[in-house]
Amino acid sequence: EVQLVESGGGLVQPGGSLRLSCAASGFTFNSYSMNWVRRAPGKGLEWISYISGGSGTIYYADSVKGRFTISRDNAKNSLYLQMNSLRAEDTALYYCARGRVYDAFDIWGQGTMVTVSS
Amino acid sequence: QSVLTQPPSVSAAPGQKVTISCSGSSSNIGNNYVSWYQQLPGTAPKVLIYETNKRPSGIPDRFSGSKSGTSATLGITGLQTGDEADYYCGTWDSSLSVVVFGGGTKLTVL
């Protein structure tokens, strides 16, 4: 079964850091581009970052550029999001999703919740 | 403020048809594929339409997508109560080099 499972969310103070992980299974991970998308409480979907299969191409939304870093370990079939300098407005359910930026995101994880609060 | 504009809500009776619009610009919808996603309460988003008008396997033909210029439309026929969800359009913005989503449309089946 094709599956994405996120982990690493939790409660963190403003200015703090958190690392999210996304474990992939059921497909050839290194052949696929991956993304992080979030949904803040009461808000809509917001794409935040993309990484190509070989990590050669990376994009970020302006809202996280310079604070978040996307990476992947194809040997471990895993995608990561290092989040630094966290703000209250980063509070959201974070999803990993498979797909190229020009195409649809066809597989989504169930999400991991990040809460930034003192 | 989203780059893509969707109506906040739409509603219709069971069995009826509804359309959801998504308005953008030449740098996004006008020159790129559009995708549509359904997010049922408490679940992850699911792709309904890819490459503007194609349905993944398993998506019923009650769902359709189209585009004209810088606007895209999702159509849903034969509405069911199980279709109540949030719907999002998404595409690549070639000028901004980011993926953009619409603000989302909440569908209520009365």
CB < 8 Å to A44, chain B: 2, 86, 88, 101-104
The whole-angstrom distance between B78's CA and the closest CA on chain A is: 24
The yes-or-no verdict on residue B49 having pLDDT over 80 is yes
Q: Which of A47, A43, A19 is nearest to A34 (CA)?
A: A47
Residue A104 pLDDT > 80, yes or no? yes
Pairing of strands B46-49, A112-116: unpaired
Chain A residues lying within 8 Å of B47, measured CB to CB: 104-106
The enclosing H or E element of A44 equals none
Cα within 13 Å of Cα(B21), Cβ side? 8
Q: What is the mean pLDDT of residues B11-39?
A: 97
Question: What pLDDT was estimated at residue A65?
Answer: 98
**Contact between chains at A95 and B100 (C-beta distance less than 8 A):** no
Q: How many helices (H) and strands (E) does chain A have?
A: 0, 11
Residue A63, pLDDT above cutoff 80: yes
- Per-position DSSP letters for B18-41, written without gaps between them: EEEEEE--TTTGGGS-EEEEEE-T
**Overall average pLDDT of the B82-86 stretch:** 97
Q: Which residues in chain B have their CB less than 8 angstroms from residue A108's CB?
A: 44-46
Task: Write the DSSP symbol of residue A85.
Answer: S
Pairing of strands A112-116, A10-12: parallel
Q: Rounded CA gap, A55 and A70, in Å?
A: 9
For residue A86, give how far its alpha carbon lies from the nearest alpha carbon of chain B (Å).
21
pLDDT digits (tens, 9 = 90+) for A18-54: 999 999 999 999 999 999 999 999 999 999 999 999 9
pLDDT of residue B22: 98
The tokens for B48 are 């309904």
Q: Mean pLDDT across the stretch B9-34?
A: 97
A-chain residues near B92 (CB < 8 A): 101-102
Residue B80 pLDDT:
96
pLDDT score of A98 more than 80:
yes
pLDDT by residue (tens digit) across A69-84?
A: 999 999 999 999 999 9
Nearest to B92 among A46, A101, A111 (CB): A101
**Cβ within 8 Å of A, B 22-41:** 32-33, 35, 37, 39
Amino acid at B6: Q
Which pLDDT value is given to residue B2? 84
Kindly report the average pLDDT of chain A as a whole number.
Answer: 97
Question: Could you tell me which residues of chain A have a Cβ less than 8 Å from any Cβ in chain B?
Answer: 35, 37, 39, 44-47, 50, 59-62, 95, 97, 101-106, 108-111
Q: Of B70, B69, B66, B65, which is closest to residue B49 (Cα–Cα)?
A: B65
Predicted confidence at residue B1, as pLDDT, reads 76
- What pLDDT score was predicted for residue B53? 97
pLDDT of res. B4: 97
Give residue A118's pLDDT band: very low, low, confident or very high (50, 70, 90).
Answer: very high
Distance CA B81, CA B13 (A): 9
Asked whether the predicted pLDDT for residue B68 surpasses 80, the reply is yes
CB-based contact A104 B47, cutoff 8 Å: yes
